[in-house]
Structure 1
Amino acid sequence: MVVQRVQELAEAGLSFLPSQYIQPPELRPDRHCRADAESGSIPVLDLDTSLNPIPHLRRLCSEWGAFHVVNHGVPSRVLDKIKEAGLGFFRSPTEAKLRYACDPGSAATEGYGSRMLSKEEGVLDWRDYFDHHTLPESRRDPSRWPDFPENYRDLVLEYSDSMKALAQRLLSMISESLNLPHSYIQDAIGEVYQNITISYYSPCPQPELALGLQSHSDMGAITLLIQDDVGGLELLKDGEWVLAKPLSDAIIVILADQTEILTNGIYRSALHRAIVNADQARISVATFYDPAKTQKISPALQLVTEQSPLKYREVLYGDYVSSWYSKGPDGKRNIDALLIQQ
């Protein structure tokens, strides 16, 4: 299967969007996306421990499911270098990038690709990406990652370790915010599988018709995302799309489906998407922190009460992943399929 990269299409100087990238009218981006009245973006959580962030965290997890974090402890240098490395890769010659191409016939394979799902039908996202398998360490094979620009592989490893530490800290705080043991969610996840995906969104000839990434909630436990100053991430809040306006040195936290299940729906995974523009390329780096496929996920019994009855059926995470990739995300239909009818 030959898959043309979005970047190649964009650089060919197209005036019109190819039909396979045109979203149906009801899914096209609203160019008048609202901004939150207080901050002009999604909310911000300050992780400075002297401020006791737990009460604010609980509100943001229950009302938003996504937020910026600042004072997170990850050096600005680490954030800047991984974005620079990603840009360096995507700005390299096509023949060099294709040495690291992923299998276009399979979903979620490591490497350089454009198609997220294995199925042939459906509208394509206006995006190219490089996906790295980084945890557990037995999955790490840096020879599958680019050796350009300089120190690329070392930067990915450093970034992986930084994101692992921050994800563990956040999951501990989330557990504590629900009066669960601080290690509850981490223990429920088991051995962590971490992927780091660098996404490149090329300028689009008709951005009002396309999406860089279709509306979805992430399938794992928690996602940590950084973006450049172009911006394009949107979150669904109260039926309206809210722009995640870029915030220097902040990291965006996105709760994913398994955390919603574990918290019995008290905390919600965030529906999000990426829009594109006609003039500027955009880059983002998403770190996915997920359970092993052999792990069974179910609501914490401590959170099941008469007032808050059991909401979700237990699921084997590997089955959840298979469903997500075979059916496609389509909003939150995969987690909704686990709902127990009351």
Structure 2
Amino acid sequence: MSQDPPYKKAYNSIFKMYSSRSNVPKKLPPVQGDDATLPLIDLSRLFSGEIEHERCVEEMVEAASEWGFFQVVNHGVPQEVLDMVYHEGRKVFDQPCSEKTRENFLNLSKNSYRRGNPNATSPSQFFWSEALQIDLTEIPNLPEDNKNLRTALEACVQEMTRLAQMMCELLGKRVKVKPNYFEENCIPANSNIRINKYPPCLSDSEIVGLIPHTDTDFITVLSQDTVGGLELKNDGRWLAVKPRPDALIVNIGDLFQVLSNGLYKSIEHRVVSSRRCRERLSIAFFFSPDQDVEIECVGNPKLYRRFTLKEYKEQIRRDVKATGDKVGLARFLVDEP
């Protein structure tokens, strides 16, 4: 079976390097985790009186502290909007690789379209996926022949921004973040949206769809289809998140872990590849501040030193270049050597 993008051809040296090793098994260890039962929170309770409102917020706080992940239903994002993004995103991914990798594809900035990991030097750093990541300021620039994609993204971003800001303000209030902090520092133009495609893995090696990582933003709002593949790390074990069609997944990012002085947890997660000849699609909305906003712990003693998102991303780039991996918040601990 041929592939487009031609992952195996493009990363042939990695697969050859792995298969030539004599001291490792032919395949990487299986990556399928146990099933996870994420906290499920009904957001309609926020509007069902003061007592139910407080209980709902308390469940969000508990989930953000213990899991770093939770699911929300009755979130207000219309399913038809998500379906429209999936439909238009699939049409983009179905275009030839030569088109998707050309300069100024869809009038987007460089590296908006991504496949695999160009920095990978080993199978453990390679991931079997495509992504279209779009800064919100770029959506109006999408070509006229992609106006349906533009319309779908605009509608989705409007709903996701509303939802992300509301949840951040509620979680922030519990850790004494000043009122309207997120409204002031997370204007829509600072965030971005990404459509992910995870093709069935046709390799003989056990390759993940997305390598283990934490998100950099305040929170991520994720819609996934029914194929499954998302896993999170909890107490040292990988747990598989079973898709639920009516729910969105919310996870805490690095910046919120800092802002909450470590109360809320930014948890490592990954996507495993499907070997059932079914592709997986997801939509991720990353709620982020301006590059120059200083992120400072609320409360004392402070676990992390103050930094800007720009500083944080620059440190990540240096670490990835030097080590192949994101070191992350460990670089910004107050007592770092």
TM-score normalised by length of structure 2: 0.81
2:81: which partner in 1? 78
More helix as a share of residues: 2
Take 1:267 and 1:291, find their aligned partners in 2: how far apart are those partners?
A: 17
Percent of aligned pairs with the same residue? Answer: 28
Deviation at 1:270, TM superposition (A): 1.8
Moved more, 166-175 or 44-53: 44-53
Q: Deviations over 1:152-211 (max 9, x none)?
A: 111111111111111111111111233444423444557751111111111112476211
Structure 2 counterparts to residues 1-342 of structure 1, below 5 A:
7-9=4-6, 18-19=15-16, 30-36=30-36, 41-48=37-44, 49=46, 50=48, 51-52=52-53, 53-99=56-102, 109-115=110-116, 119=119, 121=121, 123-134=125-136, 139-144=137-142, 147-148=145-146, 151-187=148-184, 193-206=190-203, 209-278=206-275, 279-300=277-298, 303-304=299-300, 309-328=301-320, 333-341=327-335
Q: Runs of 5+ in structure 1 lacking a partner?
A: 103-107
Alpha carbons of 1:95 and 1:79: their partners in 2 closer, same or farther (altered >3 Å)? same
The Cα RMSD (Å) is: 3.3
- 2:286 is paired with a residue whose SS is strand
Q: Distance in 2 between matches of 1:219 and 1:263?
A: 14
Matched residue count = 314
Q: 1-side partners of 2:148 and 2:158: how far apart? A: 16
Paired with 2:17 and 2:131, the residues of 1 have a C-alpha distance of 18
Q: 1:234 to 1:154 in 2, by over 3 A?
A: same
Contact 1:215 1:330 in 2 (8 A): no
Q: Distance in 2 between matches of 1:330 and 1:245?
A: 30
Output the amino acid matched with 1:79: L
Calculate the TM-score normalised by the size of structure 1: 0.80
Instruction: Measure the CA separation in 1 of the matches of 2:32 and 2:286.
Output: 29
1:105 equivalent in structure 2:
none
Please give the alpha-carbon distance, in whole angstroms, between the structure 1 residues aligned to 2:32 and 2:98: 39
Q: 1:141 to 1:72 in 2, by over 3 A?
A: closer
Q: CA deviation at 1:35?
A: 1.4
Letter in 2 for 1:131: Q
Unmatched runs of 5 consecutive residues or more in structure 2 = none
